[in-house]
């Protein structure tokens, strides 16, 4: 849990709102949000008894990815490279004038889309 909170707060700029135990299912949850409190909240859940987490191959995933808008793609990717974060897709555009997109993975392999609109 600490590794994920660090990733989303330090690298993506989210603010930890709360973190608590859920004794009924031996879990811990944390809620994060953008510092201005304007965007959606991200909930992270850690189940202590779960020994292994594995993502299905890309083609077999039912849940594909989450997305974050970024102001400066190159700056973000430079930071991710420095931190040795997996960049699965280098920046590209979907057509002329479209937003700049890139994909990375969080510490647990969840695919994250980065979107720069200018």
What residue has token string 């202590």?
A: 48
Strands (E), 9-110: 15-22, 27-33, 42-47, 66-69, 87-93, 100-105
Report DSSP state, residue 60.
G
113 is an active site residue: yes
Which among 28, 36, 113, 116 is annotated as catalytic?
113
User: What is the C-alpha separation between 109 and 104, in angstroms, rounded?
Assistant: 9
Instruction: Name the residues annotated as catalytic.
Output: 113
């Amino acid at each position: 849990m600490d590794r994920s909170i660090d990733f989303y707060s330090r690298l993506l700029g989210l603010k930890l709102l709360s973190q608590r135990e859920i004794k009924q299912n031996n879990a811990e949850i944390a809620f994060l949000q953008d510092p201005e409190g304007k965007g959606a909240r991200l909930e992270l859940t850690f189940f202590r008894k779960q020994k292994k987490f594995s993502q299905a191959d890309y083609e077999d995933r039912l849940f594909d990815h989450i997305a974050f808008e970024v102001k400066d793609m190159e700056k973000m990717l430079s930071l991710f490279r420095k931190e040795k974060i997996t960049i699965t897709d280098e920046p590209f555009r979907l057509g002329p004038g479209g937003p700049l997109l890139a994909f990375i993975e969080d510490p647990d392999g969840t695919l994250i889309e980065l979107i720069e609109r200018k």
